[in-house]
């Protein structure tokens, strides 16, 4: 069932292939070929070596697996010569007429698995559906977007499933292989993968590379038609010896690498980089394309924000799984997938307005929490302005049963100038109404000082005083506002602690990571609860009472 294919590898992909470590962790920039490269190569290699074994394809959410991990992984397998419905079957059993053996631990239902030609099975495992990992016995683990994992929960719930079958595959260096890739972490929660670099034994890696290169050289010599029988026999003995040594060296090996998009320039082409440079601010280009590390303090304006406590995952998998086996990248992009959205209830929104970026945060209140359902933004680099953001909001929530919003805005949204006859609040309201929404305008007035907001968020996030409504963030939909809050620094001003807003002018920071979205979150929470506890504006009384 094999055929010869020609593939091209960029430099980090070639190094990954040469080393073939038991554990590999990579932090690579955009379009460097993470999933279609090492993840596809290593996963297919392990599956071929371990017939009837099992690999876990791990993600933070099941939607991530269906929407962003599987499409490039399947494309990567196909580039290696594997054909769907010939070499693998996605979320359905292979035809019985092919007599493909069952896995060592047979699969009872196929919808969460991919079946390989030799009986190996890939299990889809996500942290928002912990039942998918229950009872699994894995021989390998692969993971894309690893920085979003709850690492402590991964170590408790999923890592222990990479066990067993030692009597079958224990002689292989690939047994219990781990492959994890991601782009550059921007929050403390993702630092664990950067620390994997400390586990690399550089001397062992050098040995592996040197022996593998010699192995490749000798193997190529075997195809020389002029080779003598004696030389041929010698090379075969050497190859067998090298293979044994490589297997032993790789059994406990760890490889960590970082790569920028420039490492894939021969595939992407210079024109792609020129386009990215035109479209992106320099800081975003440095972070997303050049893979530069973002340096920030763990102690910030929202220092008590903990995504393990304050964030949740809640997808309507009944709707998602009812769509199709084929879910192209980005196809799940409207509110029908959001189980936390309360039907027939208005949405509550607040914005932040800026020439470079316009930001929007959406929420709904339930009895126990104020839920942040989603955050959105548009940038001038996209050639989008404030009305485009409102159109995006209306498109995403077009299937919501209640087209009504409570719109909270402060004094910054009510002015006009020579370039704008309408206020920002009027632009937002009119655009919403044009899209068929009813708008309840809620004027917040002058925002409280930063030191008051700092104390407010300390109280809200600590959750020790019942006077303050706790908040919860939809982890997947609210990534941008969570990142903005996590990266928001704090400094001491004349009135005490202030939010460090220098990121908004810092050309080393993408504007979606600056404090804009956190300001929209401030407005939403303050607007929502400024009177709920019996306090009138100014909100300073709300905090100090």
Taking alpha carbons only, the member of 453, 443, 438 closest to residue 412 is: 443
Residue 329, in any domain of the structure = no
Q: Which of the four pLDDT bands, split at 50, 70 and 90, describes residue 531?
A: low
Q: Give 316's contacts (C-beta < 8 A, 6+ positions apart).
A: 336, 337, 338, 339
State in Å, rounded, how far the first CA of the chain is from the last one.
Answer: 74
Q: Which of the four pLDDT bands, split at 50, 70 and 90, describes residue 450?
A: confident
Provide the CB-side half-sphere exposure for 312 (13 A, CA): 14
Whole-number pLDDT of residue 190: 84
The CATH number that applies at residue 365 is 3.30.420.280
Provide the CB-side half-sphere exposure for 183 (13 A, CA): 17
| pLDDT for residue 470 is more than 90 | yes
- Long-range CB pairs of 103-109, under 8 A, 24+ apart, other chains included: 103/52, 103/53, 103/54, 104/52, 104/53, 104/54, 104/137, 104/165, 104/168, 105/54, 105/136, 105/137
Residue 225, in any domain of the structure = no
511 and 391 both lie in a single domain: yes
Alpha-carbon distance of 104 to 169, in angstroms, equals 12
Q: Which of the four pLDDT bands, split at 50, 70 and 90, describes residue 484?
A: confident
Q: Check: CB of residue 29 under 8 Å from CB of residue 182.
A: no
SS3 of residue 445 by DSSP: strand
The total number of structural domains in the chain stands at: 2
pLDDT tens digit string along 286-334? 555 666 665 455 678 888 998 889 999 999 988 887 776 555 445 578 9
| pLDDT for residue 511 is more than 70 | no
Whole-number pLDDT of residue 50: 98
Question: Which comes out higher in pLDDT, residue 346 or 533?
Answer: 346
DSSP string, 6-29: -----HHHHHHHHH--SEEEEEE-
Query: Domain residues for 452?
Result: 311-324+334-532
Residue 238, in any domain of the structure = no
Is the preceding omega at residue 82 within 30 degrees of 0, hence cis? no
| pLDDT for residue 415 is more than 90 | no
Q: Which of the four pLDDT bands, split at 50, 70 and 90, describes residue 134?
A: confident
Pairing state between β 177-182 and 140-143: parallel
The CATH number that applies at residue 123 is 3.40.50.300
Q: Which of the four pLDDT bands, split at 50, 70 and 90, describes residue 545?
A: very low
| pLDDT for residue 355 is more than 80 | yes
Q: Which of the four pLDDT bands, split at 50, 70 and 90, describes residue 534?
A: very low
Question: Which comes out higher in pLDDT, residue 295 or 523?
Answer: 523
**Domain-ending residue, one of 261, 279, 298:** 261
């Amino acid at each position: 069932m094999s055929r010869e294919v020609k593939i091209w590898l960029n430099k980090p992909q070639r190094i990954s292939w040469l080393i073939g470590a038991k554990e590999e962790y990579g932090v690579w920039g955009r379009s460097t070929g993470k999933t279609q490269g090492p993840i596809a190569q290593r996963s297919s290699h392990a599956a071929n070596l371990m017939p009837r074994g099992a690999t876990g394809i791990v993600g933070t959410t099941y939607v991530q697996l269906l929407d962003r991990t599987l499409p490039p992984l399947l494309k990567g397998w196909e580039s290696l010569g594997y054909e769907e419905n010939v070499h693998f079957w996605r979320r359905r059993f292979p035809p019985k007429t092919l007599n493909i053996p069952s896995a060592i631990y047979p699969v009872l239902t196929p919808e969460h698995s991919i079946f390989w030609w030799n009986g190996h099975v890939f299990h889809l495992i996500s942290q928002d559906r912990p039942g998918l990992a229950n009872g699994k016995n894995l021989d390998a683990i692969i993971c894309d977007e690893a920085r979003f994992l709850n690492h402590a929960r991964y170590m408790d719930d999923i890592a222990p499933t990479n066990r067993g079958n030692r009597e079958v595959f224990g002689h292989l260096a690939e047994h219990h292989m781990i492959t994890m890739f991601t782009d550059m972490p921007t929050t403390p929660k993702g630092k664990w993968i950067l620390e994997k670099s400390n586990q690399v034994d550089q001397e062992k890696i050098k040995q592996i590379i040197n022996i593998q290169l010699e192995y490749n050289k000798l193997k190529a010599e075997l195809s020389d038609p002029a080779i003598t029988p004696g030389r041929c026999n010698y090379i075969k003995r050497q190859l067998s010896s090298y293979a044994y040594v490589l297997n032993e060296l790789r059994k406990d090996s760890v490889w960590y690498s970082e790569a920028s998009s420039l490492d894939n320039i021969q595939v992407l082409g210079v024109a792609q980089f020129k386009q990215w440079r035109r479209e992106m601010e320099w800081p975003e280009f440095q972070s997303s394309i050049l893979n530069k590390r973002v340096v920030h303090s763990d102690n910030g304006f929202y220092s008590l924000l903990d995504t393990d406590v304050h964030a949740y995952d809640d997808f309507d998998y009944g709707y998602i799984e009812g769509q199709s086996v084929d879910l192209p990248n980005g196809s799940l992009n409207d509110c029908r997938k959001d189980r936390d959205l309360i039907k027939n209830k208005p949405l509550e929104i607040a914005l932040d307005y800026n020439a470079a970026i316009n930001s929007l945060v959406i929420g709904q209140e339930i009895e126990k929490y104020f839920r942040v359902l989603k955050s959105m933004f548009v940038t001038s680099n996209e050639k989008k302005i404030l009305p485009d953001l409102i159109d995006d909001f209306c498109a995403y929530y077009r299937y919501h049963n209640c087209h009504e919003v409570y719109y909270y805005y402060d004094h910054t949204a009510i002015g006009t100038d020579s370039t704008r006859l309408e206020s920002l609040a009027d632009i937002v309201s009119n655009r919403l109404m044009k899209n068929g929404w009813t708008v309840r305008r809620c004027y917040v007035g002058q925002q409280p000082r930063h030191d008051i907001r700092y104390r407010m968020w300390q109280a809200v996030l600590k959750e020790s005083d019942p006077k303050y409504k706790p908040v919860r963030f939809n982890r997947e939909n609210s990534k941008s506002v969570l990142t903005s809050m996590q990266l928001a620094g704090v400094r001491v001003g004349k009135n005490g602690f202030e939010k460090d807003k220098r990121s908004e002018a810092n050309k080393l920071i993408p504007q979606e990571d600056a404090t804009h979205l956190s300001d929209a979150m401030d407005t939403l929470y303050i607007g929502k609860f400024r009177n709920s506890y019996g306090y009138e504006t100014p909100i300073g009384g709300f905090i100090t009472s």
